[in-house]
Structure 1
Amino acid sequence: MRTPLMAVVKADGYGHGLVEAGRAAREGGAEWLGVASADEALALRAAGDTGRLLAWLIMPSEPAEELIAADIDVTAYTIADLEKFAAAGDALGSIPRVQLKIDTGLSRGGSSFAEWTNMVARARILEAEGAIRVTGIWSHFASSEDPDDPANESQEKVFAEALAIAADAGLRPEVRHLANSAGALLRPGARFDLVRVGIATYGIDPAPGVGGSPWPELGLVPAMTVRAELAMVKQIEAGAGVSYNHTWVAEEPTTVGVVPAGYAEGIQRSAGNRAEVWVDGARRPVRGTVCMDQVVIDLGSDEVEPGSEVVLWGTGADGEPTAQDWAEASGTIAYEVVTRIGGRMKRRHVDTEQEGADR
């Protein structure tokens, strides 16, 4: 049985473009889109999206009327949130669609379990009064990418208890959702009525290194390729230090190239001397410290011309590094690698289903 999908397009579509990622997700069959902020939700509506859309990080200082008028499902963490949404609906003469979030163990957003009974009781009263409509109950895993972490089982148990309490209070939400990308893939029992797929939407493995994972069968292909043009090529002698603080010194004569992208574009500074790029059919190591505007790469004895294409990361299909490779080189996760990219980079979107399309 197919579980409906919410494509999470927060953080500018994980660096891929908020509106473009949302449109692609809708074209691919996503029944829901999910975002964190009010601004993200309203930007999608302004761009023409009319489908079901959930926002879950509404600030206390932000008025809710515009969200409700735009037919956006909003998330309540507290009774104060419920009252705020109900008041906004009353001012508009409409019934807000509200989802309730329960903190099952992440200790981040959501009602505490101790407050949950009061929360759902108040939600039910407001619903009976026609002040709100409770459309969902949800939570979020802390460690779903690690299937052996006992926190997963614990959170599922707490979520089930929270759902039972809500049902006893008389709430009948449309959707109950807990699973993120890794949860949706690794924990079928946590799929409930909807799965929220974030990083996997963009073709990136949500649980790298997990043995026996089904990713090859799913055909996950990274959507983002980051390219630059080789700005300069030069020869250096043995003993020459490269980049700030000379964290790498050439042991023998070599050729280096300058790539015009640095931490101002979101390239991890911690990747210096550890990451690789793809130039002229081969991986080339980053040498020295990543600068604000550029990185230096080692071309060895190969003759490579200025203006040659540099792929920092891509699908990996031709041997080029992936965002996961950069994550491992930087001591972080692929989520951070792709969401940080920007600065002076120019984004281009390509429909890869078009014949001959190049990512």
Structure 2
Amino acid sequence: MTATSTLLVHDDAVRANTRHFAALTGRRLMAVLKADAFGHGSIADSVLQSGARSIGVTSIEEALALRRAGVRVPVLSWLNVVDSDIAAAIVAGVDLAVPGPEMLHAIARAGRDVGRPARVHLHVDVGMARDGCPPEEWRALCDLARELRATDLLRIVGVMGHLSCADRPDDDQNARERGVFDAALRTARRRGIVPAVAHLAATAATVTGTGTGYDLHRVGAGLFGIDPSGTSDALRPALTLTSRVVSSRVVAAGTGVGYGLDHVVPRRTALALLPVGYGDGLPRTASHRAEVLVRGRRRPIVGRISMDMVVVDTGDDRIRPGESVTLFGPGDGGEPTVADWARWADTIPHEIVTRIGSRVARVHRTTAPAAETHHQETRHDRL
């Protein structure tokens, strides 16, 4: 069956971005593929072939899916509840982040049950009051980790944190939070905990340099062409979303469009109907502002974005059913970008790319090695 809407994943862009960050970090790169690789799907091979040395995800379920897909490099999972399938993670060799004593005890129990030590990264909250161990509880967590390590129930692989304001490199909070992280490292080392890797920087901190000086960089959004700091022009967007016209009509001036009829066309015009809406991930808050590319020209979406459809004002051009329309892409052809949609919806690009739903077909376009010149397109199920 022919898809009505398609999300084209430009694997060549993902590979180029990964190579950029591998060079920028001296190949100390963890590719963060959480949330189905920021909505980009099965691209683990692409990032690993392009310089990433390890992979980070949020949940154990995501990590196990990577293992089932054949990924054998280190995989870190950092957001789990205490009754997650920790035992399965340990058996699969998945590293686990530890934000507090409850999780550490749960990991030790699971390690005892399966007869294997767990690999853990102690996670300190450096200032976000979100995930990670509060600084005032860090010493106790390190003491407990040292005790459990002595029982051979765990191996302490890393210490990690996350900067809150790295997208603003001049913000004094960055220095304060680095200070908290450095103090946490000193506390751990005084207790005989010498991690193989200390990591603080995500994409923004890597681009701006606010998280440099440690052993590893966790880059997610940047692999897909998103720079939260807005300071880099080296990244390539990696998605193009297209849909196909269901029907079109010509309406008279004064015709209302969509729910509430809160858009009224000012003149006789053509309207094209697209079978894509907020049920597919388009933000409803972009209503009355968003545009699409039709026959090489940007045209406005008019009326409210509905669950399954949007209406586009195409002016004097009556679009034929079946014609392709580009909702967003890299911008090279004048089409709107993910950044444009984020601005129209008053959100961030991360949200736009991760909310595209399962009704939209994913097609991966991979560029062959340098010795070849052809392109190959393949469909992938989500991990």
TM-score range, shorter chain: over 0.9
Residues 207 and 68 (structure 1 numbering): CA distance in 2 closer, same or farther, change over 3 Å? same
Q: Deviations over 1:115-166 (max 9, x none)?
A: 0001111112222332211001001121211223322221111111111111
Query: Does the 8 Å CA contact 1:4/1:193 hold for their aligned counterparts?
Result: yes
**Which amino acid in 1 is paired with 2:45?**
R
In the alignment, which residue of structure 2 is the partner of 1:106? 128
Alignment pair present for 1:2 and 2:17: no
In the alignment, which residue of structure 2 is the partner of 1:63? 85
- Written as runs of structure 1 = structure 2, the 5 A alignment for 1:143-158 is 143-158=165-180
Alignment pair present for 1:11 and 2:35: yes
- Written as runs of structure 1 = structure 2, the 5 A alignment for 1:91-102 is 91-102=113-124
Query: Does the 8 Å CA contact 2:27/2:51 hold for their aligned counterparts?
Result: no
Query: Does the 8 Å CA contact 1:184/1:191 hold for their aligned counterparts?
Result: no
Query: Does the 8 Å CA contact 1:3/1:191 hold for their aligned counterparts?
Result: no
Equivalent of residue 41 in structure 1, options 53, 58, 63: 63
Q: SS at 2:131's partner residue?
A: coil
Compute the displacement of 1:3 (Å). 4.7
**Which amino acid in 2 is paired with 1:51?**
V
**Which amino acid in 1 is paired with 2:62?**
E
In the alignment, which residue of structure 2 is the partner of 1:117? 139
Alignment pair present for 1:53 and 2:68: no
In the alignment, which residue of structure 1 is the partner of 2:263? 248
Equivalent of residue 185 in structure 1, options 199, 207, 210: 207
Compute the displacement of 1:352 (Å). 3.4
Query: Does the 8 Å CA contact 2:245/2:323 hold for their aligned counterparts?
Result: yes
Compute the displacement of 1:328 (Å). 0.2
Alignment pair present for 1:76 and 2:91: no
Q: For 1:353 and 1:175, how far apart are their aligned partners in 2?
A: 34
Q: For 1:253 and 1:352, how far apart are their aligned partners in 2?
A: 45
**Which amino acid in 1 is paired with 2:226?**
I
Q: For 1:324 and 1:3, how far apart are their aligned partners in 2?
A: 28
Gapped regions of structure 2 (runs ≥ 5) = 1-24, 378-383
Q: SS at 2:141's partner residue?
A: helix
Normalising to structure 2: TM-score of the pair?
0.88
Equivalent of residue 107 in structure 2, options 85, 88, 108: 85
- Written as runs of structure 1 = structure 2, the 5 A alignment for 1:275-294 is 275-294=290-309
Compute the displacement of 1:13 (Å). 0.9
Q: For 1:341 and 1:161, how far apart are their aligned partners in 2?
A: 41
Work out the number of aligned pairs and report it.
350
**Which amino acid in 1 is paired with 2:238?**
A
- Identity across the alignment (%): 39
In the alignment, which residue of structure 1 is the partner of 2:181? 159
In the alignment, which residue of structure 2 is the partner of 1:333? 348
Compute the displacement of 1:249 (Å). 0.9
- Written as runs of structure 1 = structure 2, the 5 A alignment for 1:259-274 is 259-274=274-289
**Which amino acid in 2 is paired with 1:281?**
G
Query: Does the 8 Å CA contact 1:255/1:300 hold for their aligned counterparts?
Result: yes
Alignment pair present for 1:224 and 2:248: no
Q: Deviations over 1:251-278 (max 9, x none)?
A: 1111111111001101100111101111
Equivalent of residue 313 in structure 1, options 300, 320, 328: 328
Q: SS at 2:158's partner residue?
A: strand
Alignment pair present for 1:26 and 2:48: yes
Compute the displacement of 1:63 (Å). 3.4
Q: For 2:151 and 2:306, how far apart are their aligned partners in 1?
A: 59
Compute the displacement of 1:356 (Å). 5.2
In the alignment, which residue of structure 2 is the partner of 1:299? 314
Structure with more contact order per residue of length (Cα contacts < 8 Å, sep ≥ 6): 2
Compute the displacement of 1:58 (Å). 1.6
Q: For 1:356 and 1:326, how far apart are their aligned partners in 2?
A: 32
Q: For 2:32 and 2:94, how far apart are their aligned partners in 1?
A: 14
In the alignment, which residue of structure 2 is the partner of 1:342? 357
The 10-residue stretch of structure 1 (81-90 or 221-230) with the greater mean CA deviation from structure 2: 81-90
Q: SS at 1:172's partner residue?
A: coil
Residues 192 and 60 (structure 1 numbering): CA distance in 2 closer, same or farther, change over 3 Å? same
The 10-residue stretch of structure 1 (302-311 or 318-327) with the greater mean CA deviation from structure 2: 302-311
Q: For 2:354 and 2:211, how far apart are their aligned partners in 1?
A: 29
Query: Does the 8 Å CA contact 2:207/2:229 hold for their aligned counterparts?
Result: no
Structure (1/2) with the larger strand percentage: 2
- Written as runs of structure 1 = structure 2, the 5 A alignment for 1:203-214 is 203-208=225-230, 213=231
Q: Deviations over 1:235-263 (max 9, x none)?
A: 11111111111221111111111111001
